[in-house]
């Protein structure tokens, strides 16, 4: 029996959250043990953000041929689905060394590639060894949540963990779930030549601004994607040529026949087998319970990333990692602040949000104003024939910015200005007074901000003042 492995920090999970803590703590001089049972890089690198964006880019390149005509260019595209998947695999392979065992061992981290299980409040077993740490960080991520649909267990369905390794091109991809994963993969596959149907029990992109979601819904429909909202999946039946999905809407049942089925109905925290009871770690119905400092009910143990929530984004994992390092290494009572959390659905055009939307702002305040600016009024968007889009900014009467929503080209880049403004509690004048290069898409944000002053600046009071001043010698 090997002696216990003593360490300062033991991180469970080699995804975005865990790797951020392990790298940061090791480079700051802490002894770090990292336990990961699956591929290094976790969901983001292998099954999520990276492969999905690589696939989306391939789809957009294919779609560019159809959009070349207005620019005076005749073009056509032929999709080789297997080579597209090689492109996706190549992107993952290019990033993988940054998340590899070799890199982290080079940083001084002890990496154990095995499952982990708590045996006490300060002890863990992994790789045949007992690990005793001053602090533990649970960063085990999440997995696809599979709904209890009759017949699904006997059908060859896909999830985000399997669809990127699919080599044959689906003739008709059925996607159950209209959230970011479902919509991104729907458009990517449609652009690559697949027939696509999205089935959503509620409304697509349910966490985003309804006005902007309506624009996205119209775009997806124009792309040829069939969207069935307020539709419940009843049963799945495997067939020789694919599968048959029974659905119901407004009490009426119907059947959808597809070659492949993708389940994208949400995520569940990876907590099974961790022995959390032995460690005294409390859980909720959705995740590990944490306080504002990301500590669990056992104050020696932190939980971050998807396993803790409330936002399951890679950028939130990195943010939470910083909170843990300040608490665990520097003993600072750092707390999370989720007032300016941005998120993006990477469709084309993109849909982005930060802060409050109009509905939530109205529930909290009685003096809000909604500022709007269309991409059609932006010269760069006109030059690139990418005028579909809208910026919405929510402000109070005093100019305080509460939130922003953007639907349009590069919305994920443009939302960053508003995330900064909200996080730093800037007022709308700070954005309105910016000097921005021309012509750029970022001017849509400046124009939206400037519209806050339009009623006063060009109102009758200002006109009278100007006329009076012009009379002076």
pLDDT digits (tens, 9 = 90+) for 106-130: 999 999 999 999 999 999 999 999 9
Q: Residue 372's beta-bridge partner residues? A: 392
Q: Write out the two tokens for 71.
A: 């620019």
pLDDT, tens only, 181-216: 999 999 999 999 999 999 999 999 999 999 999 999
Contact 271, 118 (CB under 8 A): no
Q: Is 183 annotated as a binding residue?
A: yes
Among residues 119, 138, 51, which one has the least CA distance to residue 89? 51
Q: Is 200 annotated as a binding residue?
A: yes
Q: 255 and 300, same structural domain?
A: no
pLDDT, tens only, 77-105: 999 999 999 999 999 999 999 999 999 99
> Would you say residue 1 has pLDDT above 70?
no
Residue 333: inside a domain, yes or no?
Answer: no
Contact 299, 318 (CB under 8 A): no
Residue 87: inside a domain, yes or no?
Answer: no
Domain boundary residue, one of 328, 351, 377: 328
Residue with tokens 């990876």: 270
Residue 4 has what DSSP assignment? Answer: P
Q: 239 and 311, same structural domain?
A: no
Q: What is the CATH number of the domain that holds 348?
A: 3.30.390.30
Residue 334: inside a domain, yes or no?
Answer: no
Q: Residue 10's beta-bridge partner residues? A: 33, 136
Q: Is 180 annotated as a binding residue?
A: yes
Cβ-proximal residues to 408 (8 Å cutoff; 6+ apart), any chain: 349, 350, 375, 381, 386, 388, 389, 390, 391, 414, 441, 444
Q: 182 and 129, same structural domain?
A: no
Residue 73 has what DSSP assignment? Answer: -
Distance CA(143)–CA(425), nearest Å, equals 35
Q: 14 and 109, same structural domain?
A: yes
Distance CA(242)–CA(92), nearest Å, equals 29
Q: Residue 233's beta-bridge partner residues? A: 247
Q: 137 and 236, same structural domain?
A: no
Q: Is 306 annotated as a binding residue?
A: yes
Q: Is 350 annotated as a binding residue?
A: no
Which pLDDT belongs to residue 226? Answer: 98
Residue 94: inside a domain, yes or no?
Answer: no
Q: Which helix (H) or strand (E) holds 45?
A: helix 42-46
Distance CA(393)–CA(404), nearest Å, equals 4
Q: Is 184 annotated as a binding residue?
A: yes
> Between 160 and 466, whose confidence is greater?
160
* % of the chain with per-residue pLDDT over 90: 93
472: Cα separation from own chain's centroid: 58
Contact 26, 32 (CB under 8 A): yes
Residue 75: inside a domain, yes or no?
Answer: no
Residue with tokens 């001089």: 29
Q: 197 and 321, same structural domain?
A: no
pLDDT, tens only, 25-67: 999 999 999 999 999 999 999 999 999 999 999 999 999 988 9
Label the pairing between strands 242-249 and 252-258: antiparallel
Distance CA(236)–CA(283), nearest Å, equals 32
Q: 441 and 364, same structural domain?
A: yes
DSSP string, 274-306: S-HHHHT--B-SSSB---TT-B-SSTTEEE-GG
Residue 274: inside a domain, yes or no?
Answer: yes
Q: 258 and 373, same structural domain?
A: no
Contact 192, 186 (CB under 8 A): no
Q: Is 178 annotated as a binding residue?
A: yes
Which pLDDT belongs to residue 465? Answer: 85
Residue 336: inside a domain, yes or no?
Answer: no
Q: Write out the two tokens for 168.
A: 């044959």
Confidence of residue 351 (pLDDT cuts 50, 70, 90): very high
CA atoms within 13 A on the CB side of 28: 14
> Would you say residue 471 has pLDDT above 70?
yes
> Would you say residue 336 has pLDDT above 80?
yes
For 451-473, b/e burial (b = at least 16 CB within 10 A) is: bbeeeeeeeeeeeeeeeeeeeee
Q: Is 127 annotated as a binding residue?
A: no
Distance CA(258)–CA(252), nearest Å, equals 20
Q: Is 140 annotated as a binding residue?
A: yes
pLDDT, tens only, 456-466: 888 888 888 88
Confidence of residue 2 (pLDDT cuts 50, 70, 90): confident
Residue with tokens 């033991």: 10
The number of beta carbons lying within 10 Å of the beta carbon of residue 30 is 20
Q: If you average pLDDT over residues 415-434, what whole number do you get?
A: 97
As a whole number, the mean pLDDT across the chain is 96
Contact 252, 271 (CB under 8 A): no
Domain boundary residue, one of 266, 289, 318: 266
| Domain ranges, residue 350 | 342-457
Q: 424 and 294, same structural domain?
A: no
Q: What is the CATH number of the domain that holds 107?
A: 3.50.50.60
Domain boundary residue, one of 219, 248, 266: 266
Residue 352: inside a domain, yes or no?
Answer: yes
Q: Is 251 annotated as a binding residue?
A: no
Q: 276 and 258, same structural domain?
A: no
Q: Is 266 annotated as a binding residue?
A: yes
Counted domains in the chain: 3
Q: How far apart are the first and last CA of the chain?
A: 97
Q: Which helix (H) or strand (E) holds 371?
A: strand 368-374
pLDDT, tens only, 299-324: 999 999 999 999 999 999 999 999 99
For 89-114, b/e burial (b = at least 16 CB within 10 A) is: eebbeebbeebbeebbeebebbbbee
Q: 34 and 107, same structural domain?
A: yes
Contact 133, 124 (CB under 8 A): yes
Distance CA(53)–CA(63), nearest Å, equals 15
pLDDT, tens only, 252-268: 999 999 999 999 999 99
pLDDT, tens only, 376-389: 999 999 999 999 99
Q: 240 and 190, same structural domain?
A: yes
């Amino acid at each position: 029996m090997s002696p216990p492995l003593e360490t300062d920090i033991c991180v469970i999970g080699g995804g975005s959250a865990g790797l951020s803590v392990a790298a940061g703590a090791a480079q700051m001089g802490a002894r770090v043990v990292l336990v990961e049972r699956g591929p290094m890089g976790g969901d983001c690198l292998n099954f999520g953000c990276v492969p999905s964006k690589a696939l989306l880019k391939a789809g957009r390149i294919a779609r560019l041929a159809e959009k070349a005509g207005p620019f005076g260019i005749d073009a056509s595209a032929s999709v080789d689905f297997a080579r597209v998947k090689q492109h996706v695999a190549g992107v993952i392979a290019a990033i993988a060394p940054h998340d590899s065992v070799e890199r982290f061992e080079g940083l001084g981290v002890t990496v154990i590639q095995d499952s982990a299980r708590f045996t006490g409040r300060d002890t863990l077993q992994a790789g045949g060894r007992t690990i005793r740490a001053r602090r533990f960080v649970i960063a085990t991520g999440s997995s696809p949540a599979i709904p209890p649909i009759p017949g699904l267990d006997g059908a060859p369905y896909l999830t985000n963990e399997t669809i990127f390794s699919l080599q044959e091109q689906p003739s008709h991809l059925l996607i159950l779930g209209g959230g970011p994963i479902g919509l991104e993969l729907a458009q990517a596959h449609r652009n690559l030549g697949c027939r696509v149907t999205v089935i959503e029990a509620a409304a697509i992109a349910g966490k985003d601004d309804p006005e902007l979601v309506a624009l996205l819904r119209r775009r997806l429909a124009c792309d040829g994607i069939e969207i069935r909202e307020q539709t419940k999946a009843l049963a799945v039946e495997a067939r020789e040529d694919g599968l048959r999905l029974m659905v119901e809407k407004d009490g009426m049942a119907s059947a959808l026949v597809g070659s492949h089925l993708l389940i994208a109905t949400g995520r569940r925290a990876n907590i099974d087998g961790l022995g959390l009871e032995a460690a005294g770690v409390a859980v909720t119905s959705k995740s590990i319970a944490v306080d504002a400092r990301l500590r669990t009910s056992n104050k020696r143990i932190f939980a971050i990333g998807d396993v803790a929530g409330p936002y399951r984004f890679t950028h939130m994992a990195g943010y939470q990692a910083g909170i843990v390092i300040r608490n665990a290494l520097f003993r600072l009572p750092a707390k999370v602040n989720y007032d300016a959390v941005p998120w993006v659905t990477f469709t084309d055009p993109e849909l982005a949000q930060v802060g409050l939307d109009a509905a939530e702002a109205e529930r909290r305040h009685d003096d809000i104003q909604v500022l709007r600016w269309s991409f059609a009024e932006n010269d760069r968007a006109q030059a690139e024939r990418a005028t579909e889009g809208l910026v919405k900014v929510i402000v109070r009467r005093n100019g305080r910015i509460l939130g922003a929503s953007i639907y349009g080209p590069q919305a994920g880049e443009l939302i960053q200005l508003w995330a900064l403004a909200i996080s730093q509690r800037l007022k709308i004048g700070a954005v309105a007074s910016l000097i921005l290069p021309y012509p750029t898409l970022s001017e849509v944000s400046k124009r939206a901000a400037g519209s806050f002053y339009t009623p006063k600046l060009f109102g009758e009071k200002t006109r009278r003042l100007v006329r009076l001043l012009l009379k002076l010698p």
